[in-house]
Every structure is written in structure tokens, then in C-alpha cells.
Amino acid sequence: MRRVRSGLLALALVSSAGSAFAQVDLSNYVSVGDSLAAGFSSGSLVETHQRYSVPALLARQGGARDFQQPTVSEPGIPVELALVTLSPVTVIAPKASQPGSPTNLALPRPYNNLAVPGASSIDALERVRDRGGLHDLILRGLGTQTQQAGALQPSFVTLWIGNNDVLGAAIAGRAVDGVTLTPTSVFADVYRQIVALLQATGARIVAANLLDVTAIPFVTTIPPVVVNPATRQPMQVDGANVALIGPNGPLASNTLVTLAASSLLARGVGIPKELGGAGTPLPDEVLLDAGEQATIREHVTADNRAIAEICSAAGIPLVDLNAVLNDLNAHGREVGGIRLTSDFLTGGIFSYDGVHLTDLGHALLANEWIDVINQQAGGSLPLVDLSPFLSASAAAARRPATFGFSSEAWDNLREVFGVR
């Protein structure tokens, strides 16, 4: 009798597990988003990284059926960045002169991963073409992201859009509402429409909020002071650090200098003549002063508040990736004795463009998604095994202090994100 009861209990548990899994059926999974969801890495959309995009990993872990992406052959579109040298200065540049080409254009249906690098929330709702850009490559004129998502009649959708509504300000070094920043009221309205359209498909939806783009390596790596390339330490005069020169004189200590300044610094721009520099100021477009940083953060906070309210009202579980990045910045992430951080080049999580993730970064964030899917959407997806992405992994090596983020690398980023 006891054995019979045990059997019934086991059967009940199996049934329960089965029904829980049914709540989040990834068999027909669609991703709507931007570069972070596209698997964009090191300034490039390339199959070697796309295969580890967050949606691709979720699809694999969730048993998605025939999950298709707009794959691009090596060296990617644009050409993937690579680290050329660490010494005497760190130089990052495209790894080839000619880009790769699409390898899945003939797919006779929309891709499952519809995320388009550079896409804003408005783009996800309205844009179909972009004159030979990545929208054309990925959407192929078949409709907007949301339209194609609906056409696929998905069982499950991840929505990770809005980063480009704030990221442009960081890349352009200018925080102007309505120009480099999408007004929050507009963002909220558009986001609400996207959610409504996706909900109309009947799919289970899980969303993620926006990263603090003032906390990514693209803007946190270069200090606002002159660094001695030989010692990799700040140069000091009379015991004090020497500030770089900006349009309004010496930079305040809380100024963020973007990686786009590195090629200028290598030519002495922004460095006082007395210290061997050109004595000319860094342009404003590679700097974020405290006011600009505050403006960007306010937008991120407001946009995330809007996302939270809209998702809550719609019953959509939300992955708080903003908090994840903040935690990474504050504490790093311990994995088997390896300390991963958000540091540029040495942290293991951000790629050579300082904005997008490495394969390991994608895997870490995929597990954040899985936690929410499992805890709030009734899923039972196994976590992504990090071993293949680590080969085992990372304490911070001394951060190289001088960077040569090539002008080509910067141009590629600006083009992808539509920054003029």
C-alpha cells in the first residue's frame, strides 16, 4: 500500500512538473530586442558569437524547436574587433578589412531571434528597413520586429528593448532629451504598444529592463587623468594627479571619458604640453560630464520604472538586469574561484567594444533570465553550464592604463547605433 501511495505521489509530482513546464513552452520561441539580445559582441554581429546569444542559450536550455537566427559569417558585420596589442599601448581594431556575409538569408520565414543591433523601442515597433543596415539584414523587409514576431505565432517571447533609447547618449557623449535620449513619455507609450502587440499573440512573455549605460566599460575604463604609459599609473605633479583637458579646461574628477577618446589620447590630444601632449582639448563627444551622466541615469531610471509598471500590469515577469550590472560593478561575480568583473579586457564579461558582452557574459545573463523564467513563469529550464565559456576563469589582471580604441572601431559602433 505504501508503495502504491509512493507511486501515486511520484505520478502527481511528475504531472505537476509537466504542467509547470507547460506554462513556459519554448517550443516556438521569439526574441524581440536590440544588440544585447542579438548576440552582438566586440562590435560585430557574427555567427561565432550569435550562437551564444542570450536567446540562443535560452532556446537551447528550453528545448526550443528550430530556433533560427540571422547568422553572419566571420569576420562579421561590421568586422569583429580584436585586441591587436597590449604594449606599449592597448590597441583594439577590426580584425579584417572585409566584413562577413549573411548565411541564413534564405530562411523562408522570420527569424526566431529578431533582435536588431541599434534598434530603439520605436524601431522595434515601426522600423522595417534601414538602407542596407542591420534592419535590412535581419528583418528582410518582412515587417517590423513586432509584426514578424506575431507572424510566427510564438509560444514564448523575450522582450529586451530600450537600451538604445539611452545608449546613444553615452556613445555620442551628449545627453540631449529628444536627440540622443528618447523622451521617457514616448518610450513608455511605445513600450506599452509593443507589449500589447506581443500579448495579442497569446505567447508567454518575459522582459528585461535597461542597463545603466554610465556603468559600462565604454565609459568607465579611461580615467580623466593623464596616465604614464610606461608605469600605467596616473602621472603626478606636486603629488597630485594631472587632469586631462576638455573643452572647458581640466576635466573634473567625476568626468567619464569614453573609449572613443583613446585614439585621440594616443596622439596627445587632451594631454597638457608640459607632459608631452598636444595641449589641445578632447572633444565633448568623448566626454560625459556629471550633468550628462545624471541626465542619462534619470532616463534609465524613469524608463525602467515605466517598464516595471507596464510589465506588472500585464503580468509579465521582469528580469532586473540593471541590478545585475550594478552588482557586477560593485562586487564582481565569483565562479569556482574565478572572479569575474565588469572591467574592460580583464573582467571576462564585456567584449572589446566596451558595450556588449562576451560569450561568457551572455551565458551569465542567460542564467539570470532562466532564474526569473523558472521562479516567476513556472519554467524548469536548467542553468547554462558556464564551463565551456570559462575554460575556468578570471581575476582581474592589472588594467592596461592606456587604450587605443581605433577610430575604425569607434566608427563601427557609431554606425551600428545610428550616432552621428
Q: Please give the residue ranges that form the binding site for another protein (CB under 8 A).
A: 83, 85-87, 90, 331-340, 345-348, 351-352, 358, 360, 363, 367, 382-387, 389-398, 400
418 sits in the region (left: phi over 0; alpha: psi -120 to 50; else beta) called left
Q: How far apart are CA 270 and CA 250, in angstroms?
A: 9
- Look at residue 47 and give its three-state secondary structure: helix
Residues 6+ apart with CB under 8 A from 383: 61, 367, 370
- Based on CB atoms, which residue is closest to another protein, 14 or 383? 383
- Based on CB atoms, which residue is closest to another protein, 89 or 314? 89
Q: How far apart are CA 14 and CA 164, in angstroms?
A: 43
Say whether the peptide bond before residue 78 is cis (omega within 30 degrees of 0): yes
- Quote the least distance from Cβ 363 to another protein, whole Å: 8
- Quote the least distance from Cβ 305 to another protein, whole Å: 30
- Based on CB atoms, which residue is closest to another protein, 120 or 358? 358
Cα–Cα separations (whole angstroms), residue 111 to 46, 118, 160, 356: 15, 17, 16, 21
- Based on CB atoms, which residue is closest to another protein, 186 or 338? 338
- Based on CB atoms, which residue is closest to another protein, 298 or 368? 368
Q: What is the dihedral of CA 59, 60, 66, 71, to 10 degrees?
A: 80
In the numeric block, which cell numbers belong to residue 176? 540631449
- Quote the least distance from Cβ 157 to another protein, whole Å: 24
Cα–Cα separations (whole angstroms), residue 96 to 78, 81, 408: 10, 9, 11
- Based on CB atoms, which residue is closest to another protein, 226 or 340? 340
- Quote the least distance from Cβ 61 to another protein, whole Å: 9
Q: How far apart are CA 119 and CA 149, in angstroms?
A: 15
- Based on CB atoms, which residue is closest to another protein, 114 or 259? 259
- Look at residue 376 and give its three-state secondary structure: helix
Nearest to 189 by CA among 150, 153, 154, 162: 162
- Quote the least distance from Cβ 77 to another protein, whole Å: 20
- Based on CB atoms, which residue is closest to another protein, 340 or 355? 340
DSSP E strand boundaries for 16-139: 29-33, 81-85, 90-94
- Based on CB atoms, which residue is closest to another protein, 96 or 392? 392
- Quote the least distance from Cβ 85 to another protein, whole Å: 7
- Quote the least distance from Cβ 41 to another protein, whole Å: 9
Q: How far apart are CA 21 and CA 410, in angstroms?
A: 44
Residues 6+ apart with CB under 8 A from 117: 34, 35, 38, 40, 45, 134, 416, 417
- Quote the least distance from Cβ 221 to another protein, whole Å: 12
- Quote the least distance from Cβ 349 to another protein, whole Å: 9
